[in-house]
Amino acid sequence: MASKSQALIFTLKLAVCVVLVAWILHAIFAGEAENALQLGGRNWADLTLAEQVRESWAIGPASLWQTISGVNLGWLLASLVFMGATILIGVVRWRIVLDVQGLRLSFGRAAGISLVAHFFNSFLLGSTGGDLLKAYFAAGETSQRKAEAVTTVVVDRLLGLFAMLLFCSVMALLNWNIVMSQQRFMAVMLVVLGMLFLSGLIVVLSFWGGPTKPRLKFESLLARLTRGDALVRCIEACRAFGENPGFLPRVLGWSMLLSLACVLQVVALGWGLGLEMGRHLPVLMLIVPAIICISALPITPSGIGVRENLYVWLLSATAIGIENKQALTLSILAFAGSLLWSLVGGLVYLFFRSRISLDR
């Protein structure tokens, strides 16, 4: 009976993987097909949904191969390494967050959960939707500290976003003349600064919580709600981060390194396409994190469309001067690299089993 149940679960997972992999491939092929049609003078937006699907699978595979074959293999592999490095750095950062709560998770197990989350990020809204699955699996790793385990996922994502926004803001100061001379950069930075303020405010309120009496009163009201006790435990778990003096610098340090790896992935692809990326590196260290942060907003699945338009809009600015076609190709290749690692996450998900291990 148990073997039949396991076989059914495996079959269901396989079906989910097949559907999601098909979605991932369609997302890549659609971008390539849109690029190819625009070069032919046709407007992608004028096509019906059925026509877009047909063109994606008819044109997309050959167009993708043509794009990839035009990239220097060494730089293409380097970009994949940098993309993988972002996932590994994220695992290190999450384990630091877990450690504050007294939750011990092996690097391999944390990496497995993170890869599964990365897989689901490829089709859920924004680029953080997979964190819902990550929180679910994190809660499944413990029987007594589920609220704390879920809190670590939220805090890890929040600090990662805050650090990348901070990284982008620092780079804006170093590129102040360019930002002030380009209206499109000014518009993007207004969004980034708004997100930085909100995320920073949430961090401060979550970690330090303000005066004790209002906080305790709020928690007592919260405890009366359904599942309110779990919410109170989440709030108390957040306070543990604020009480650990070395926690924030360590997490922000690793997050800054992650931001740099994201930039280097795009730079490597640009060099692979024969673009002059070196002299634009300071500006790219502003643009790439800004695009990643804005694409993380839950607007479209995996930020598709938002990301590509931002790459074309910003890289084609006079400060950089990359052609629209090259900027779009760069965006598609960067996304394809992320999706390749998503396929690795799909394989992990296929054989992934939940188990309680954090209590041991």
The Cα 63–Cα 196 span in angstroms is 38
Give pLDDT tens digits for 167-204.
999 999 998 888 888 888 899 999 999 999 999 998 88
Q: Token pair of 146, please? A: 């589920």
Structure tokens that stand for 347 in this block:
């394989």
pLDDT over 80 (residue 85): yes
Round to the nearest angstrom and report the end-to-end CA distance of the chain: 28
HSE at residue 329, side-chain half, CA atoms within 13 A, is 25
Q: Residues with Cβ < 8 Å from 251, sequence gap 6 or more? A: 93, 96, 97, 156, 159, 163
The full DSSP string for 42-102 is --GGGS-HHHHHHHHHHHHHHHHHHHHHTS-HHHHHHHHHHHHHHHHHHHHHHHHHHHHTT
Share of the chain above pLDDT 90, in %: 26
pLDDT the model gives residue 227? 63
Write the pLDDT tens digit of every residue in 216-240: 665 666 566 666 677 777 778 888 8
The domains of the chain are located at 1-69, 73-350
**Of residues 309 and 16, more confidently modeled:** 309
Q: Report DSSP state, residue 44.
A: G
Q: What is the pLDDT of residues 41-83, one digit of tens each?
A: 777 777 888 888 888 888 878 877 777 777 888 999 999 999 9
Q: Is the pLDDT of residue 3 over 90?
A: no
According to DSSP, the residues that pair with 301 across neighbouring strands are: 125, 126
Q: Which of 39-43, 134-138, 259-263 has the lowest mean pLDDT?
A: 39-43
Whole-number pLDDT of residue 359: 45
pLDDT for the residue numbered 20: 67
User: If you search the block for the tokens 């849109």, which residue do you land on?
Assistant: 34
Q: Regarding predicted confidence, which is higher, 126 or 234?
A: 234
Residue 256: predicted pLDDT? 94
The residue among 290, 359, 349, 353 whose CA lies nearest residue 122 is: 349
CA atoms within 13 A on the CB side of 173: 6
How does DSSP assign 126-155, residue by residue?
A: BTTTTHHHHHHHHHHT-SS-HHHHHHHHHH
Joined tokens for residue 132: 């819902």
180 residue type, one letter: M
Contacts within 8 Å (CB) and 24+ apart, 181-184? 181/319, 182/317, 182/318, 182/319, 184/313, 184/314, 184/317
The dihedral built from the CA positions of residue 125, 289, 98 and 249, taken in this order, carries a sign that is negative
Identify the sign of the CA torsion 218, 221, 222, 228: positive
Q: Is there a contact between 314 and 182 (Cβ–Cβ < 8 Å)?
A: no
- Determine the Cα–Cα distance for residues 111 and 122; give it in Å rounded to an integer: 17
Quick one: average pLDDT of 231-257?
A: 87
Extract the tokens encoding 246. 């070395």
309 vs 283, higher pLDDT: 283
Please give the share of the chain, as a percent, with pLDDT higher than 70.
Answer: 83
Q: How far apart (Å, rounded) are the C-alpha atoms in residues 288 and 309? A: 13
Q: Is the model more confident about 340 or about 6?
A: 340
- What's the rounded Cα separation, in Å, for the pair 337 and 205? 36
Whether the CB-CB separation of 270 and 277 falls below 8 Å is answered with yes
Question: Model pTM?
Answer: 0.80
* For range 319-335, the mean pLDDT: 81
pLDDT-based confidence at 358, cuts 50/70/90? very low
Q: Inform me whether the pLDDT recorded for 6 exceeds 90.
A: no
pLDDT of 302 reads 63
pLDDT value for 219:
62
